[in-house]
Amino acid sequence: MKDGAALHVEDWLLPPQAARRGSALIVHGLGEHIGRYAHVASALLAIGVEVRGYDQRGFGRSPGARGVIPDADALLDDARVVFEDWHRSRGDRPFLIGHSMGGAVAARAVTGGWIAPRGLVLSSPAIAGRLSGLQKFALRIGRRLSPDRPVPSGLKSQYVSRDLAVLEHYRRDPLNHGLITPRLTQFIVDAGAQALAGAAAVKVPTLVMIGTDDRLIDAASARLFHDRLPETLRTLLAYDGFYHELFNEPAADRARALADLVRWLARVADASPDPALDRAIPPTTAR
Domain boundary assignment for the chain: 9-286
CA distance linking residue 207 with residue 260, whole number of Å: 10
Cβ atoms of 9 and 57 within 8 Å: the answer is no
For residue 48, what is the DSSP state? T
- Average model confidence (pLDDT) across the chain: 91
Q: Which of 29, 27, 31, 28 is nearest to 154 (CA)?
A: 31
Q: Which of 29, 139, 48 is nearest to 90 (CA)?
A: 48
CA distance linking residue 116 with residue 35, whole number of Å: 25
pLDDT in tens, 157-185: 999 999 999 999 999 999 999 999 999 99
CA distance linking residue 121 with residue 107, whole number of Å: 9
pLDDT in tens, 103-125: 999 999 999 999 999 999 999 99
CA distance linking residue 51 with residue 258, whole number of Å: 15
Half-sphere exposure (Cβ direction) of 90: Cα atoms closer than 13 Å = 25
Q: Which of 80, 105, 82 is nearest to 29 (CA)?
A: 105
Other Cβ atoms closer than 10 A to 214: 21
Other Cβ atoms closer than 10 A to 209: 27
**Per-residue confidence (pLDDT) for residue 102, from 0 to 100:** 98
Compute the CA torsion angle 75, 57, 174, 185 (nearest 10 deg). -40
pLDDT at 10 over 60: yes
| CATH number given to 9-286 | 3.40.50.1820
Cβ atoms of 217 and 189 within 8 Å: the answer is no
- Looking at the chain, the whole-number percentage of residues with pLDDT higher than 90 is 84
pLDDT, mean of residues 115-139: 79
- For residue 276, what pLDDT band results from cuts at 50, 70 and 90? very low
Prediction pTM value: 0.92
For residue 38, what is the DSSP state? H
pLDDT in tens, 183-199: 999 999 999 999 999 99
Indicate the pairing of strand 206-211 with strand 179-180. unpaired
Cβ atoms of 94 and 23 within 8 Å: the answer is yes
